[in-house]
Each structure stands twice: as C-alpha cells, then as structure tokens.
Structure 1
Amino acid sequence: MRSTPSSSARHWDGSPVAAPVRRSLRVSHGGTSRLMRCGQHSRCHECGNRIEWYHRSDPQMAMVPLHPHELPAARVPADCRWHVSSGIAHPAGDGSGWCRIPHALLCPARNVPTAAGLGTLRRALAVHTRRLIDAGAFIPPTARPDEAAAESAVCRPARPVVQLLYVRYLAACPVEEIRCVAQTRRRSRCAQPLLAPDASAGTWTLMPATAATGQLALPADVMTVYDLSALPYAEQLRWRAQRCPQHAATPSAPDLTVPDWEPFDPLLHREHIHTRLPTRSRTRASGRSRKAAQP
C-alpha cells in the first residue's frame, strides 16, 4: 500500500491544521501611554517585590508604581484607592468592590504607617523580600557597594541631578550610561545612549540645592547639576522621554521600559547632593599637582 502525502494544511487524517496566528504587541496611535504592557512590570529597588508602572490621569505628574494585584476596597482607606482605566491610573475608586493601591504604602523597606487591614499583606511582602535576599536574587540598598568610594577615584556622581524643562530629576545612573527606553525591531531595548556623539550636551554647574526653580534653597547649600536648559525645547523633550535621536524621530516605536527619571527632592535625596564639579580623576589631578610642586 502506498501512502499519499498529506497536504501541509491538513493532518494525516484529513483534519485541518489550526496554525496559531502570530501577533505582535503594538501601541495604539490614539493611546495616552506609549509604554508596552510587558514593560510595565518591574521590581521595587528597595524591597525587590513586583510592581506595575502606570501613567497618571494628570500628565504633568510622574508615573505611579502600583501593587500588581487588586485588593478589596473595604480593606483600603478611601484616600488610598486607585483604579486603572485604559492603561491610565486614577487616584480614586471606580465604585466597584475592588481597587488598586500604591506600592509605597505596602513597601516593607519604608517606615510608613500601615493602614488598618493591610498589615498582613505588608508582612507577606516582607517575608518575600527576605526569601529573595536569602536566595541571592535581590541585594538591598544598604548592602550594596558604597557609591562614595567609587566616586572618590572618579569624581562623577553615580546618580546625578539633571535639570531639564525647568524641573530637576534624579537619574538612575551616570549621564553617559543613560540608555534609550524604546523597543527595537528585534523586540529588545535600544542600546543607544541619550548622550549621542552628534547631539548637543549639557553643562555641569553649581546651583542652589532646590527641587525646582522658584522653591526655597537649603541654607548656604549648593549642588552639582547637569544643566540641559540651554538646549532646544525639542531636545529637552527627547531627554525627558529618554529616547535616542533615532527613536525620537520615530514616535510610533513603543517604550519597552519606564524612564529612569525620579523627581528630585533635596530632603529625600540629600545623599546625592554633591558640592564639587565633576573631574576626570582626583588622584591624577592631585598627582600632577604634587609633581609640579617638586623642584
């Protein structure tokens, strides 16, 4: 008996082959958020627990990290309830029996008062943080290498303060290492830096230690700021969106992760205030000065 080869669209018994249609994630042109759904998931830098980033209903406000699961609204105080609609977080309840809550109110690494009914969940997050530390999957900020020791050899802030659009932000890494957050065609994060070789750069300067223009400065205190105010408006928008020049020209490309900017507060981020302008190396500079002083 000679078998007849089956068609590529059917099985050996003649049943049709249901080939799954491969679909790629896309961002709607009319959507408010340009962030991919898979890029909203992250982990808290202080406790290591999972969080979800969402744009707020007020576009002028920074993104808010929410607890990844819904909670019964009866357990959450009315002023702490959030709800998500069309990818946008709104600081109020939606009338249902469930709501979302900011992660800052549950983070076990923060000394914040716990609302009644949320103590059990916060203790569960603390236990999960301890398991991550024991497994070596998370290193708390207090156990990380001292950033001041690294900055003593090369006088460059590990987390510099950047001023753009008259607002000061705290960067997550040195200026030269800030990467683009856009997604490439290979569905990976762009490896291009914001400080492109052919783009205009900012200037290091000493400014009063304030959060933004118009606020009162700390008494007799100045700090090092990477100032981008002299750049064109479109260039400052590119920096705030954290996109390289190539992806800034293609707004249809989605974001694979959230920007690393954190609104700067001189009281909360006082350990990141530096009063000396960056140099190449303190040791080299001191060595040259000693050699010049020798006869």
Structure 2
Amino acid sequence: MCPNPATGDCHWDGSPRHRRHPRPLRVDATSPSRLLRAGQSGRCRRCGNRIDIYQRTDQRPIALHPAEVATEQVPDSCRWHLAGGIAHPHGDGSAWCRIPHTVLCPGNTPTARLGRRLEEVRRQLALRTRRLIDTRTFTPTTPAGDPPATGVSSPARPVVQILLSRYLADSPLENIRCVAQTRQRLRCTHPVLDPTSPAGTWKLLPSGPQRGQLALPDTLMAVYDLSHLPYPEQARWRTQHCPAHAAPRGVADLALAGWQVFDPLLHTAHIYTRLPHPPASHSRDR
C-alpha cells in the first residue's frame, strides 16, 4: 500500500498544520447589552427542553423558546421580540415572534389559551420530556425555596442598595463574581467586592413597600448600602464587574448579573432585622 502523501497545509491525518487564531471580538459601545450569546442556552429544570436566556429592559433574565413562531398563532400577551440582544414584551410588527418557555413548558399549567399550533408544539415538548425521563437522562426538579434567614451571621443572599434601588444578591457579598470575559475567553475569577475599592456600609433601613403595594409593618432590615459611593462605583456593582473590567466598554459579559429586584413581600425570608457581624475570632491560650 502506498501511503497518502500529506499536503503542504495539512498533516497526514488531515488536520491543519497552522491553526488560525480566533479573531478578537468586542462589544460595540452603542450596544444596549454586553452579554455574549455564546453559552446563554440551557435546559429547563422542569421539562429538560432547551431554552435561550435573554435580558429584558429591566436587566432581568427571561427564558424564551429557541424557535420563532408565527405572530398570528401567538396571543398578544405572549409575544416577544429581540432588538440589540434585549427581549421586549410585545411584537415588532413582523410576521414572526418569540414566546416565553413557561407558556409551552409541559411542567407548567398554561395561563393563556393556546392555539392549535402552540398546543402541538407543547405536545412535542411533552413527548421529548417523557423520552428523556424514560432514558434516565433527565430528572425533573422543582426549584426549592430558600432557607429562612436566621441568626446574625453574614446573609446568604444580602439586600444591596444600588443607585437608589434595592436588589437581592444570589450569593454572599464575598462570593459575588465578576461576569466579564477575560482575554483567555473565560469568565473573570475576581470578586466584585474588592479590598482596594470603596466599600459599602451595613445599615438598618425600613423595609418600605414598593409602588402599588399595601403598607407594611414598620420593620428595620439590614441593607448593604452603596448610596454614598460615586456613580461609577455603584454602576460597577450594578453591572457586576470587578475594578479591572469596570472601565473598558468593549469587554463582553459571559453571564447574567445575579441581581434580583428586591420585593419585601416575596423575599420576606431574606429580611434580617439585625446587622451582620464577622465570626468571632478565638484567641489562642498561652
């Protein structure tokens, strides 16, 4: 047998001799979102089907069905469209739109009357879920409730006041990680709480109701207040960036910021009535 001679640009197995370095990409300065679409797809924890995660205008995430649907087949209240990487809760006048996954998820009860086409899509997702369960590649789970806030240690999900608004973090302050992309195309490992930057202050502030809610009992709650910091520093916390990625505008994000708008009625379990303090250090006996 005569071996196949290798060409000048490839090895004997057909692999290229010279690898092209990926072209560096930067987010445009006028882009309303710095989130990269790569890696922002996942699986629903209730049904196991694929979902695409986007940011809304209020920077909260929403899971959309990965395929477009004809606008005439979707109720007005379920129509979403994308513009500049941001999901908007209405149609854009085109013949196609996106639909939230919760409307089609087999694990949820439909809240709106679906048409014939959407019911067929929902049945297909249900069959796929059953197939995943039968092959033991998926186990449906229900999001567990957060444990109640007890004691006076550092809160597991603290309430932070940024730019005159209160947000509920998804982890302790020292564990909040930067969401920016590094030069190695990986997520930054630096924390947002940097010891060299100005720090916030723990305060007991009233847990007042939001607009449109009934009056709540006059209760003081522990809040990590950043209101006294300059605007750029508060904006850095809001975008969940470390000091190294706060200034560059072309740096992209690899994950969504973990902030959630604080609601005193929905997040009662995370209200601390006493200021947290660091664990006491035990002195050594001499």
Task: Specify the alignment match of 1:293 in structure 2.
Answer: none
Task: Specify the alignment match of 1:177 in structure 2.
Answer: 175
Contact 2:147 2:269 in 1 (8 A): no
Deviation at 1:92, TM superposition (A): 2.1
Task: Specify the alignment match of 1:223 in structure 2.
Answer: 221
**Matched residue of 2:236: which SS?**
helix
Deviation at 1:177, TM superposition (A): 0.3
Superposed counterparts of 1:1-295, under 5 Å: 8-9=8-9, 21-24=20-23, 26-29=25-28, 30-42=30-42, 50-56=50-56, 58=57, 62-106=60-104, 113-117=111-115, 118=118, 124=125, 128=129, 131=133, 135=137, 139-142=141-144, 147-148=147-148, 155-210=153-208, 218-281=216-279
**Matched residue of 2:167: which SS?**
strand
Deviation at 1:274, TM superposition (A): 2.1
- 1:203 maps to a residue whose letter is T
Gaps of 5+ in 2: none
Q: Which whole-Å CA distance do the structure 1 matches of 2:11 and 2:43 have between them?
A: 45
Shifted more, 108-117 versus 190-199: the winner is: 108-117
- 2:156 maps to a residue whose letter is A
Contact 2:154 2:172 in 1 (8 A): yes
Name the structure with the higher helix share. Answer: 1
- 2:202 maps to a residue whose letter is W
**Matched residue of 1:176: which SS?**
helix
Task: Specify the alignment match of 1:292 in structure 2.
Answer: none
Structure 1's 75 and 6: CA in aligned 2 closer, same or farther, altered over 3 A?
Answer: closer
- TM-score normalised according to structure 2 size: 0.76
Gaps of 5+ in 1: 288-295
Percentage of identical aligned residues = 47
Q: Which whole-Å CA distance do the structure 2 matches of 1:45 and 1:215 have between them?
A: 31
Q: Which whole-Å CA distance do the structure 2 matches of 1:190 and 1:98 have between them?
A: 37
Contact 2:152 2:275 in 1 (8 A): no
Q: Which whole-Å CA distance do the structure 2 matches of 1:72 and 1:37 have between them?
A: 23
Contact 1:53 1:258 in 2 (8 A): no
